[in-house]
Structure 1
Amino acid sequence: MTINEIQDELIEDFSFFEDWMAKYEYIIQLGKELPLIDEVYKTDDLLIKGCQSRVWLRADYIDDRVIFTADSDAIITKGLVSLMIKVLSGQKAEDIVQADLYFIDAIGLKEHLSPTRANGLVAMVKQMKLYAMAFSARY
């Protein structure tokens, strides 16, 4: 699936929920399904700068695709990074770099996050795109 197809699917998934409590529960559930980063990678150099919670993000380049794994010590943040991984992991580096992540606004995420969480989400996106840029420059 393309990045936009995945985003469209997420927008549809979120449209089924009546209120933001249900949406938060869904985000937390996604966090529980997150493919966790190996404990050996929970190092300071893999922490995302700009997140209030601790979020570790690792990127690998396998078969011409960027594969992300992550973890966080906060359940909502873990769900947010899980959303980003769902959209971007397994995609080509150039596609990640050029991706317009419109689903964030379409599902109302930004306005329903605290300012610190919204900044953290921006930091996650930035870090994922930086990894993708590095891979596309290298390969």
Structure 2
Amino acid sequence: MSLPADAVTALETFQAIGSWEQRARLLMQWGERLPALPDADKVEANLVQGCESLVWLTGQLQDGHWQFAASSEARLIRGLVALLLARVNGLSAAELQAVDLPDWFAQLGLSRQLSPSRSNGLNAVLQRMRALSQIQN
């Protein structure tokens, strides 16, 4: 499966960095670049269940491809979510089902950053994306 352009950029950027500190800094920068969600979207219905931090997620289908937007109050989570969005935005519902989250973060060299609770939270975000893609398919 070919990667969306943003995912390729993320991979090239993160794989070019050797030190863990630089990767952590880059992760925060990705989070800061995440477009702000309008307050109207920060509602209970868009809150992802299963995350320790508050994460809001919206998604819409455009010409057969999914575009998601998300936000979190937690800086680190925002960075991880930004990288998840880079990986999934522009995919079809079928491609979304095939995304391997642990593999994606391993390729980025960020597995260390994924504590079990963060990993569960990101999985919850991905599951919510998949659920949205099934509802509106």
TM-score, normalised by the number of residues in structure 1: 0.84
Q: What are the within-5 Å matches in structure 2 for residues 1-139 of structure 1?
A: 2-3=2-3, 7-101=7-101, 102-136=103-137
Task: Name the stretch that deviates more: 66-75 or 86-95.
Answer: 86-95
CA contact (8 A) 1:53 1:77 kept: yes
Distance in 2 (CA, whole Å) between partners of 1:86 and 1:50 is 21
How far does residue 60 in structure 1 lie from its aligned partner after superposition? 1.1
Secondary structure (helix, strand or coil) at the match of 2:136 reads helix
How far does residue 55 in structure 1 lie from its aligned partner after superposition? 0.5
TM-aligned CA distance change 1:4 to 1:41, over 3 Å: closer
Contiguous gaps of at least 5 residues in structure 1: none
Identity %: 29
How far does residue 87 in structure 1 lie from its aligned partner after superposition? 1.2
Distance in 1 (CA, whole Å) between partners of 2:135 and 2:3 is 19
Task: Name the stretch that deviates more: 104-113 or 77-86.
Answer: 104-113
Distance in 2 (CA, whole Å) between partners of 1:9 and 1:54 is 27
Aligned length: 136
Alignment RMSD:
2.2
Contiguous gaps of at least 5 residues in structure 2: none
Task: Name the stretch that deviates more: 88-97 or 8-17.
Answer: 8-17
**1:119 is aligned with what amino acid?**
N
Distance in 2 (CA, whole Å) between partners of 1:71 and 1:4 is 20
TM-score, normalised by the number of residues in structure 2: 0.85
CA contact (8 A) 2:4 2:86 kept: no
Q: Deviations over 1:51-100 (max 9, x none)?
A: 11100000111222211111100011111111111111122222112233
**1:59 is aligned with what amino acid?**
G
How far does residue 6 in structure 1 lie from its aligned partner after superposition? 5.2
